[in-house]
Amino acid sequence: MLKTRFTEMFGVQYPIVQGGMQWVGRAELTAAVANAGALGFLTGLTQPTPEDLVKEVKRCRDMTDKPFGVNLTILPTLVPRPYGEYIDAIIQSGVKIVETAGNNPKPFLPKFKEAGIKVIHKCTSVRHGVTAERIGVDAISMDGFECAGHPGEDDVPNLVLLPAAANVINIPMIASGGFADARGLVAALALGCDGVNMGTRFMATKEAPIHQKVKEAIVGADERSTALIFRTMRNTSRVFNNSVAKKAIEMEHEGKTIAEIGPIVSGQKGKVVYETGDLEHGIWSAGTCMGLIQDIPTCKELVDRMVREAKDIIAKRLAAMAA
Ligand code: NAD
């Protein structure tokens, strides 16, 4: 055990979360994370329709009897998605934990609460965390500038963001962005959080349903191997720094619109990267913590190692300093 307010609230063994990741958060990974004693999330929008999401939840439930959740990210998309129907599908599926992200979850909270669903809201600023607590979410996932995907527009890294948030947030909070090992986990606990959320680290695991070449690229990359696209549109996204990311940034600076850039940055192209291992086919999300990732373990090996080493750091290294 490594007990925190987060593990108590969500009924998991360890304060480690596999957060939503477009195209990656599928049943194989989420069930493996759950079976390892951590909290996994299926990514709602990875499923083409709400009916497919219900089937994916069932598939995941066939692979684990441990708790897991569904991520629902509400951000601009190239093709409109029926969010209301995805919410109904989540409720119908019987899942009891949801991770919301990208937008204020207030409109959906009554439905989730009525269905007995606990909501973790992922946000990128202290003020949004405070609002989320006020409107009644159960926990916060605070996502710093280091993260893969959408870090918001304030550019505050976690060394400041997390304690600043911990000063004013009272509900359980997990730290997201830049976490990949036991040192990060212990640091997050010291900064006032109740656990960590990891995305990129879980991509480089045996069970992640993506091509081996993508996993090897993560292991081969360092902390400088990401790029920030969509800055000019205030929809910043941190992605692997490949030729497509460079081209997208160039087009943005030439004043091209999303309609013109869309064909090269579309999620459908990113999906092909994960399927084929062609790293230059599209954009794909990855975080700065690639600089900390040096192997491709199973989820269980990863979680066990993090917990074992975290306990060692707390009980030996830090305790010796305070003795
Ligand atoms: P998509 O193909 O619809 O869009 C590709 C990218 O373009 C996304 O980053 C999207 O935010 C951005 N975009 C689309 N329309 C835009 C606009 N009008 N202005 C500015 N930017 C715009 O995306 P997808 O890969 O099908 O993903 C669906 C949604 O999930 C997107 O909003 C994406 O950002 C988000 N997402 C979620 C996760 C997660 O972990 N849950 C991870 C990555 C992306």
> pLDDT class for 146, splitting at 50, 70, 90?
very high
Q: Do 269 and 159 fall into the same domain?
A: no
pLDDT for 125 equals 98
pLDDT tens, residue by residue, 254-303: 999 999 999 999 999 999 999 999 999 999 999 999 999 999 999 999 99
Q: Is the CB of 267 under 6 A from ligand 1?
A: yes
CA of 231 to the centre of ligand 1 (A): 13
- In the chain, the number of structural domains is 2
pTM for this structure?
0.97
Q: Show the CA angle centred on residue 214, arms to residues 212 and 218, nearest 5°.
A: 115
Is the CB of 20 inside a 6 Å radius of any atom of ligand 1?
yes
% residues pLDDT > 90 (the chain): 100
List pLDDT tens digits, range 218-263: 999 999 999 999 999 999 999 999 999 999 999 999 999 999 999 9
What mean pLDDT comes out for the span 47-63?
98
> How do residues 159-191 score in pLDDT, each as one tens digit?
999 999 999 999 999 999 999 999 999 999 999
Question: Which ipTM score applies to this complex?
Answer: 0.95
The answer to whether the CB of 43 is under 6 A from ligand 1 is yes
| Co-location of 192 and 112 in the same domain | yes
77 CA from centroid of ligand 1 (Å) = 5
237 with 192, same domain: the answer is: no
C-alpha span between 144 and 151 (Å, rounded): 6
Domain-located, residue 200 = yes
Average pLDDT, the chain: 98
Binding site membership of 241 for ligand 1 (Cβ less than 6 Å): no
Domain that holds residue 231: 226-285
Contacts 24+ apart (CB under 8 A), 134-138: 135/104, 135/105, 135/106, 135/109, 136/109, 137/100, 137/105, 137/109, 137/171, 138/9, 138/171, 138/172
Do residues 193 and 64 both lie within one domain? yes
270 close to ligand 1 (CB < 6 Angstrom): yes
150 Cα to the center of ligand 1, angstroms: 9
* pLDDT for the residue 1: 77
